[in-house]
Structure 1
Amino acid sequence: MAGYSKGSGKVPTGFAAETFISESTFRHGHRAIESNQSANSKKRKRESKGDSSIVSGAGAYKGPWAKYEEERPDAADDDEFGSDEEVEIIYEEDEIEEVPTAAPGKLAGTDYADTDARPETSEFVGSQEFDYQGRTYMHIPNDLDIKLTGDRGDVKNFVPKKLIHTYKYHTKSITQVRFFPGSGHLLLSASADSKIALWDVYHQRELLRTFSGHTKSVNDIDFNPDGTQFISASYDRYMKLWDTETGKCLNKFTTGKTPHVVRINPSTPHEFLAGMADKKIMQYDTRSGEMVQEYDHHLGPVNTITFCDENRRFITTSDDKSLRAWEYGIPVPIKFIAEPYMFSMVRSSPHPSGKYVAFQSSDNQITVYSSTDRFRQNRKKSYRGHNVAGYAPDVAISPDGQYISSGDSGGFVCFWDWKTCKMWHKIQASDSPVLAVQWHPRETSKVITGDLNGALKFWD
């Protein structure tokens, strides 16, 4: 029957207008919709995935590339008896089995899981471990034309002119060098090749002992006041205390973060400070191995720690471009300096007078701050003319306080007059950046430099 309606009305999904439609047209449309729905309701089945051991032919492995089976008239019967049921089950399981379990990969640069793997070892490699009286290299020689013990006196320093010896053992960049405290008859060097080496400064000038135990670059070393022990810090996140004579590792310390700088307190030799990559300064007791104080005010990785005021205070600098002064043992800064024109200061050296500290600033200059009560910058003292961009060359002051020296990214070692701030001399020390420089504590004009290639050069 045909129908016709005058009215129209609202429906839940909006507004609908009624219309005139013949019964045959309605039935035809209704059937078309029903047949579509029934076709879609039937589940399409895949062909069998095949056997993974068969490459070609019947039953060959198709895996996830198996095609869909064509519709068959008896598909409904198949469903009833489940003839293809196994295809669906196997398909799920096969897919899981086909994915091989990959071996866990290790990243050489960022994998810290194996930091405990290497045991600490030390080897004496010199020509003679004991002298005719049974003394080791710790004994200060007295058969030289220079007195290495007692008061230094008023010995004046001079700028070195020529190369007298090259020490070669390290395979990567020299990161720090230290003369034996007081006498300077031994030299300790740390390198990015994870090794630490002890050298003879006089006589044969040979390699005496190697210290192995760090798994990544050693970035700082520091002797205790009598030189019997030294502390090392490395990118493997460990700080280790070593016996200078036997090479034994006495203790190790870690917070799980990278230490950038370590300094033993000269007045309290069993305690040391470590400036960390996570903005903190840690104070450790080497006897108990415990952390006894934490200084947490910096906003960036700590770069330098310098003791001052007879070791009752210390100054720290950081990547946050600030300088902070602290009372030793009290975790609140007594002075905070952060000016808009300041750059981060990456290396430091105290002046022998005890009144000043020189800092290697990242804007290619050496700045000076007083290390007494006021901790103010000395604006008159600025040493320029060298290039440090991208590197952190060491800065060192001569034992008489007359000269200040620094490495340079162009391979130079530069010397300035402390009073006039004029550059005195510049030596081409290497064809790669010079990163380490130290004055001999007793000699008049002897300086050691270490470069990016791992060579140590002794100048006079």
Structure 2
Amino acid sequence: MELLIGYTSDSGSESEYEEKFVITASEGGDKRVNPLKRAGKLSKTELKRRRLQRKSKGPWGSWSSSDEEDNSTNGFRSESSSNSISGDKNIQYREDEDNDGKEDEVPLEDETSTLYDTQYQDKKFRRNLLTPLKDIDIDLYKPALSFKCYLPKRIVHTFDGHIDGCNTLKFLPKTGHLFISGGNDDTIRLWNFYGDKKCVRDYKGHSKALKTLTFVSDGSSFISSSFDQTVKVWDTEVGKVTKRLKFKSIPNAIDSRPLDNGNEFIVGLSNSKIMHYDIRVQEKNGLVQQYDHHLSSILALKYFPDGSKFISSSEDKTVRIWNNQINIPIKQISDTTQHSMPSLDIHPSENYFCSQSMDNSIYSYSMKPKYKRHTNKVFRGQKSSGYGIGLTFSPDGHYICSGDIRSKILIWDWTTTKLLKTITIPGKKPLTQIAWHPQETSKVLCTGVDGKIYMLD
């Protein structure tokens, strides 16, 4: 066939490719031209530009040292990094390092906070939100596993919540006399669990819906992430932002390292990377490590109670366990039949962790090597496919509780895996967030797409 004459597989040699195919009349040729040749003769500058454009930085890109030299003309740094590898993957890492984690450019006046409950002020008008009011008739400092819990039976109160849905819900650590929520109205609200059960303080500083929230270990501050691709660290009492981070992708998950007073936290991004920050470090805006072994968007992050390790879940249908600040997973939990797991939680005994799976099941894993799955502790009965349905444990570890896309709350016995209770919530919309009070025997909060927050007892 005529078209195959002079065929070459070198995609980078376009000038040679044209010389073999174009035969001019002055050379005595038959004026045959390559049908793939573009009209007009390209300059050397244009040929070089097109060669660089064709070079891929994806998983099929070249790994030779010459690619690093070519890509250096695209504006990437050429110096090596101790945390990166050679080739195009190294270049991609440097790009992320340059673009992710920069200071947010949102003006400070766009970040506001209002205190509504004046009973949380002393005579000198100093805020004391972290101290429970004296009229609460329950010990709020009991250690976990020290008291027996019971099944909630019905809805006893409904909080106003958020317009168009609530996306995250967390109790204040240890005491639980306050809880925090974030929703699609771009607002964070701190609620009084006791007394008048109204909003104590709100925090406004994100331009899009809230994605997730987490308190630091002592509750003095909390970290928020939003669909506006920012992460902010807030002072709980005064409502001031103490740290701002801007990313190129959505921060889907965050968690603060326990026993560290909020100095270290991790952020899971939709570009499959986990970024580790330490606010005590000035260089690189506090970035101390990047974990990049996942292949798809990060869904959930959870630290071990001692802060030595953390668990990550991703849309690549794997769960990985990492040592703190070491970019090599010590365990990858994966299976050909495994589904994505958008929620993680740790049992109060600290011997197990559970994951909510998209196949309408909750799976249990050991928190000790070999971190294996316990096939006799699988909880079924809920519908969770298509939504990030949360789960929670009772403080005594005897019950495990889950939301449902059918507007239901399901509670199982941890020992027997038997479904004990199903409570239907008004609204007929998915319940994605659920939390058991850390000091109460039978009080549970739940919320979801409806936006209202329900208290069960």
Residue 438 of structure 1, aligned match among 420, 435, 444:
435
Structure 2 partner of 1:116: 106
Structure 2 partner of 1:156: 148
Instruction: Say if 2:144 and 2:396, in contact at 8 Å, map to a contact too.
Output: no
Q: Does 1:328 find its partner at 2:324?
A: yes
Cα distance in 2 for partners of 1:278, 1:215 equals 21
Structure 2 partner of 1:401: 397
Structure 2 partner of 1:301: 297
Instruction: Say if 2:431 and 2:448, in contact at 8 Å, map to a contact too.
Output: yes
Equivalent positions of 1:8-407 (< 5 A) are 116=106, 119-131=110-122, 136-151=128-143, 154-268=146-260, 269-287=262-280, 288=282, 289-308=285-304, 310-407=306-403
Instruction: Say if 1:394 and 1:435, in contact at 8 Å, map to a contact too.
Output: yes
Query: How far is 1:142 from its partner?
Result: 3.4
Instruction: Say if 1:142 and 1:148, in contact at 8 Å, map to a contact too.
Output: no
Structure 2 partner of 1:62: none
Structure 1 partner of 2:89: none
**Structure 1 unaligned spans of 5+:** 1-11, 14-113
Structure 2 partner of 1:70: none
Query: How far is 1:122 from its partner?
Result: 0.8
Query: How far is 1:194 from its partner?
Result: 1.3
Which is worse superposed, 415-424 or 305-314?
305-314
Cα distance in 2 for partners of 1:272, 1:153 equals 27
Q: Deviations over 1:428-457 (max 9, x none)?
A: 123211111000000000000012121001
Change (3 A) 1:136 1:428: same
Q: Given the two structures, how large is their TM-score scaled by the length of structure 1?
A: 0.73
Change (3 A) 1:130 1:291: same
Structure 2 partner of 1:9: none
Cα distance in 1 for partners of 2:314, 2:300 equals 7
Query: How far is 1:132 from its partner?
Result: 5.7
Cα distance in 2 for partners of 1:419, 1:169 equals 34
Equivalent position SS for 2:348 = coil
Cα distance in 1 for partners of 2:207, 2:450 equals 19
Letter aligned with residue 121 of structure 1: T
Cα distance in 1 for partners of 2:365, 2:445 equals 25
Cα distance in 1 for partners of 2:228, 2:304 equals 29
Q: Does 1:410 find its partner at 2:403?
A: no
Instruction: Say if 1:259 and 1:277, in contact at 8 Å, map to a contact too.
Output: yes
Instruction: Say if 1:181 and 1:226, in contact at 8 Å, map to a contact too.
Output: yes
Query: How far is 1:127 from its partner?
Result: 4.7
Which is worse superposed, 283-292 or 448-457?
283-292
Percentage of identical aligned residues: 35
Letter aligned with residue 413 of structure 1: I
Query: How far is 1:128 from its partner?
Result: 3.8
Q: Deviations over 1:347-381 (max 9, x none)?
A: 01101111111100000111111111211111111
Change (3 A) 1:381 1:183: same
Instruction: Say if 1:309 and 1:372, in contact at 8 Å, map to a contact too.
Output: no
Cα distance in 2 for partners of 1:420, 1:169 equals 35
Change (3 A) 1:435 1:278: same
Query: How far is 1:228 from its partner?
Result: 0.5
Change (3 A) 1:309 1:169: closer
Q: Higher Cα Rg: structure 1 or 2?
A: 1
Change (3 A) 1:207 1:420: same
Q: Deviations over 1:211-232 (max 9, x none)?
A: 1111111111000111010000
Cα distance in 1 for partners of 2:145, 2:382 equals 32
Equivalent position SS for 2:110 = coil
Cα distance in 2 for partners of 1:142, 1:153 equals 24
Letter aligned with residue 172 of structure 2: F
Instruction: Say if 1:362 and 1:389, in contact at 8 Å, map to a contact too.
Output: yes
Cα distance in 1 for partners of 2:248, 2:310 equals 24
Q: How many residues align?
A: 349
Change (3 A) 1:309 1:432: closer
Q: Deviations over 1:374-428 (max 9, x none)?
A: 1111111111111012211111111111100111000001101111111110111
Instruction: Say if 2:355 and 2:364, in contact at 8 Å, map to a contact too.
Output: yes
Cα distance in 2 for partners of 1:446, 1:414 equals 14
Letter aligned with residue 381 of structure 2: G
**Structure 2 unaligned spans of 5+:** 1-28, 31-103
Cα distance in 2 for partners of 1:147, 1:323 equals 37
Query: How far is 1:133 from its partner?
Result: 8.0
Which is worse superposed, 123-132 or 194-203?
123-132
Cα distance in 2 for partners of 1:161, 1:413 equals 11
Equivalent position SS for 2:206 = coil
Instruction: Say if 1:218 and 1:232, in contact at 8 Å, map to a contact too.
Output: yes
Instruction: Say if 2:289 and 2:327, in contact at 8 Å, map to a contact too.
Output: yes
Q: Deviations over 1:300-351 (max 9, x none)?
A: 1011112226221111110000111111110111111211010010001101
Cα distance in 2 for partners of 1:280, 1:173 equals 27
Instruction: Say if 1:237 and 1:259, in contact at 8 Å, map to a contact too.
Output: yes
Instruction: Say if 1:304 and 1:317, in contact at 8 Å, map to a contact too.
Output: yes
Residue 455 of structure 2, aligned match among 437, 449, 458:
458
Structure 2 partner of 1:81: none
Cα distance in 2 for partners of 1:385, 1:204 equals 35
Letter aligned with residue 185 of structure 1: H
Cα distance in 2 for partners of 1:140, 1:188 equals 15
Change (3 A) 1:409 1:153: closer
Cα distance in 2 for partners of 1:138, 1:367 equals 35
Q: Does 1:448 find its partner at 2:438?
A: no
Cα distance in 2 for partners of 1:190, 1:352 equals 25
Change (3 A) 1:402 1:153: closer
Q: Given the two structures, how large is their TM-score scaled by the length of structure 2?
A: 0.73
Q: Deviations over 1:25-68 (max 9, x none)?
A: xxxxxxxxxxxxxxxxxxxxxxxxxxxxxxxxxxxxxxxxxxxx
